[in-house]
């Protein structure tokens, strides 16, 4: 659930170890889950920006454990980057609360955190060039590589079964059955397409159960706007949105890159005819990802890269359409029917990738 109440960012900011006085604060980015604000502080005459972010407590049931994960992951990344030029733009940096904790709990029991604002970067909702796709995929691959030797216990599952496609499918089928908002009739065509693809739900899970695709620490939300690109050099500098960084499967991370970076149109493009998966972007993703992850991936994981995008577009369609049927309780929407449009676009994307499967398999083979 998203409420639209005004936030007291001045009081909130004062509870973190931020110097100076708040000059302005405004909503930032296009994420669907958290509330993100860019806030400018006057620090002895210099404007300095921070990100204040309210964690969505409806989606993340245990924000304190989530922050434990994020702190561990960022601590490890910072150790790896120590001494590198521009290190503080290459990873998120948490600003502690006045009491030393990595977050603050507000009067509504919501959890907030603060990051240094990574300046002179931008994110893309639609990738413009293969070089951008390659750079982003390399960054996500490097992120997995850094986390391969994360010390300590297994990370917490911040959302259990987040990419368990069978459970996603079953939840979707239950939402169709319940039809609690009486919306199923008007989207029967999309429901039929989704239900017809049931066989896809178990394929990667079976490979995982068989031991071909091992559990790793993965990002789990490798949407292309979760990587910040350097405005001057085009380099993919920093991976953000670490709320779902937890145990997962490498092909899932690659699949969400394919879903978001190969699409020629927006994730919520209203005209499905404009939604196509671009093979030149797919090839760039394979090149970039394998340049960083090729060293640790097994051939049995690489074998799933061509199918992964189709699977993630399918999973996302189930999630968007399920949310539409349940009355838009999960994703922030900007207009009535928004989740329905998103679902229609994701099913079009799934079909586009499915049609190009042979070509995508050949591309993966040529790099492995
Ligand atoms: P959500 O879970 O809602 O997607 P994100 O953590 O991805 O939230 O943040 C939303 C957007 O805010 C990102 O896509 C990015 O554009 C921007 N952003 C996040 N963290 C920073 C940061 N430290 N510096 C600059 N911009 C950021
Ligand atoms: C959400 O937080 P954001 O907007 O980067 C969602 C992802 C979906 C994505 C679809 C925690 O990502 O799983 O793939 O929307 N995050 C969560 O755009 O559910
Ligand atoms: Mg995000």
Give me the mean pLDDT over the 236-265 stretch.
98
Report how far ligand 3's centroid is from the alpha carbon of 178 (Å). 30
Q: What pLDDT was estimated at residue 4?
A: 63
Tokens representing 192 are: 């039929």
| Helix (H) or strand (E) run with residue 237 in it | strand 236-239
Give me the mean pLDDT over the 294-319 stretch.
98
Q: In what order do the strands lie in the sheet with 121-122?
A: 121-122, 227-230, 236-239
Q: What pLDDT was estimated at residue 194?
A: 98
| Helix (H) or strand (E) run with residue 46 in it | strand 46-54
Q: How do the domains of the chain map onto residue ranges?
A: 9-119, 130-367
Report how far ligand 3's centroid is from the alpha carbon of 182 (Å). 30
- Name the fold adopted by 9-119: Phosphorylase Kinase; domain 1 (3.30.200)
Report how far ligand 1's centroid is from the alpha carbon of 36 (Å). 7
Q: What pLDDT was estimated at residue 2?
A: 63
Q: CA distances (Å), 201 to each of 90, 169, 315, in order?
A: 35, 7, 8
Determine whether 233 is exposed, middle or buried from the number of CB atoms within 10 Å of its CB (0-12, 13-18, 19+): exposed
The residues pairing with 112 across neighbouring beta strands, listed in sequence order, are 54, 104
Q: What pLDDT was estimated at residue 30?
A: 83
> From CA 46, how far away is CA 23, in angstroms rounded?
11
Tokens representing 56 are: 């969505």
Q: Hey, CA dihedral for 250, 313, 317, 225, is it positive or negative?
A: positive
Instruction: Give the pLDDT confidence of 102-145 residue by residue, as tens digits.
Output: 999 999 999 999 999 999 999 999 999 999 999 999 999 999 99
Residue indicated by tokens 């838009």: 328
> From CA 195, how far away is CA 45, in angstroms rounded?
59
Which residue's CA lies nearest to atom 20 of ligand 1? 240
Share of the chain above pLDDT 70, in %: 99
Give me the mean pLDDT over the 194-223 stretch.
98
Q: What pLDDT was estimated at residue 368?
A: 86
DSSP at 336: T
> From CA 70, how far away is CA 82, in angstroms rounded?
18
Residue 73 reports pLDDT greater than 70: yes
Report how far ligand 1's centroid is from the alpha carbon of 210 (Å). 36
Pocket of ligand 1 (CB under 6 A): 28-29, 31-34, 36, 51, 92, 115, 117-118, 123, 225-226, 240-241
Give me the mean pLDDT over the 272-277 stretch.
98
- Name the fold adopted by 130-367: Aminoglycoside 3'-phosphotransferase; Chain: A, domain 2 (3.90.1200)
Average pLDDT of the chain, as a whole number: 97
The residues pairing with 248 across neighbouring beta strands, listed in sequence order, are 216
Q: What pLDDT was estimated at residue 78?
A: 96
| Helix (H) or strand (E) run with residue 67 in it | helix 63-81
Residue closest to 246 by CA, chosen among 116, 60, 87, 117: 60
223 touches ligand 2 (CB under 6 Å): yes
Which residue's CA lies nearest to atom 17 of ligand 2? 33
Report how far ligand 1's centroid is from the alpha carbon of 45 (Å). 26
Which residue's CA lies nearest to atom 5 of ligand 2? 31
Residue closest to 224 by CA, chosen among 272, 273, 285, 297: 285
Instruction: Give the pLDDT confidence of 92-105 residue by residue, as tens digits.
Output: 999 999 999 999 99
Main-chain dihedrals φ then ψ at residue 39, nearest 5 degrees: -125, 130
Q: What pLDDT was estimated at residue 6?
A: 76
268 touches ligand 2 (CB under 6 Å): no
Share of the chain above pLDDT 90, in %: 97
Q: Are 325 and 183 in contact (CB under 8 A)?
A: yes
């Amino acid at each position: 659930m998203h409420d639209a109440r005004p936030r007291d960012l001045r009081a909130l900011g004062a509870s973190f170890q931020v110097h100076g006085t708040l000059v302005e604060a405004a909503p930032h980015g296009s994420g669907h889950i958290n509330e993100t604000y860019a806030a400018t502080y006057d620090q002895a005459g210099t404007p300095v920006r921070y990100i204040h972010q309210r964690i969505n407590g409806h989606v993340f049931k245990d924000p304190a454990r989530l922050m434990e994960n994020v702190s561990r992951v960022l601590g490890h990344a910072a150790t790896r980057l120590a001494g590198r030029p521009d290190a503080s733009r290459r990873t998120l940096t948490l600003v502690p609360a006045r009491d030393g904790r990595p977050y603050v709990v507000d009067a509504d029991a919501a959890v907030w955190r603060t990051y240094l604002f990574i300046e002179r970067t931008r994110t893309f909702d639609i990738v413009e060039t293969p070089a951008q796709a390659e750079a982003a995929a390399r960054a996500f691959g490097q992120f997995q590589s850094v986390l391969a030797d994360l010390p300590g216990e297994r990370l917490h599952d911040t959302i259990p079964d987040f990419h368990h496609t069978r459970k996603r499918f079953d939840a979707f089928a239950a939402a169709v059955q319940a039809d609690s908002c009486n919306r199923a009739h008007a989207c029967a065509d999309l429901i039929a397409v989704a239900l017809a693809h049931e066989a896809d739900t178990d394929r990667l899970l079976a490979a995982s159960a068989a031991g071909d695709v091992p559990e790793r620490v993965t990002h789990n939300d490798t949407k292309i706007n979760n990587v910040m690109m350097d405005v001057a050099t085009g380099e993919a500098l920093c991976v953000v949105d670490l709320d779902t960084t937890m145990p997962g499967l490498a092909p899932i991370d690659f699949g969400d890159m394919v879903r978001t970076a190969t699409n020629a149109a927006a994730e919520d493009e209203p005209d499905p005819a404009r939604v196509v998966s671009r093979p030149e972007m797919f090839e760039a993703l394979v090149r970039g990802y394998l340049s960083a992850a090729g060293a640790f991936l097994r051939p049995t994981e690489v074998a799933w890269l061509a199918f992964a995008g189709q699977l993630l577009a399918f999973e996302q369609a189930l999630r968007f359409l399920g949310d539409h049927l349940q009355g838009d309780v999960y994703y922030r929407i900007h207009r009535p029917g928004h989740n329905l449009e998103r679902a229609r676009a994701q099913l079009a994307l799934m079909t586009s990738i499915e049609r190009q499967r042979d070509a995508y398999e050949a591309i993966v083979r040529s790099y492995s």
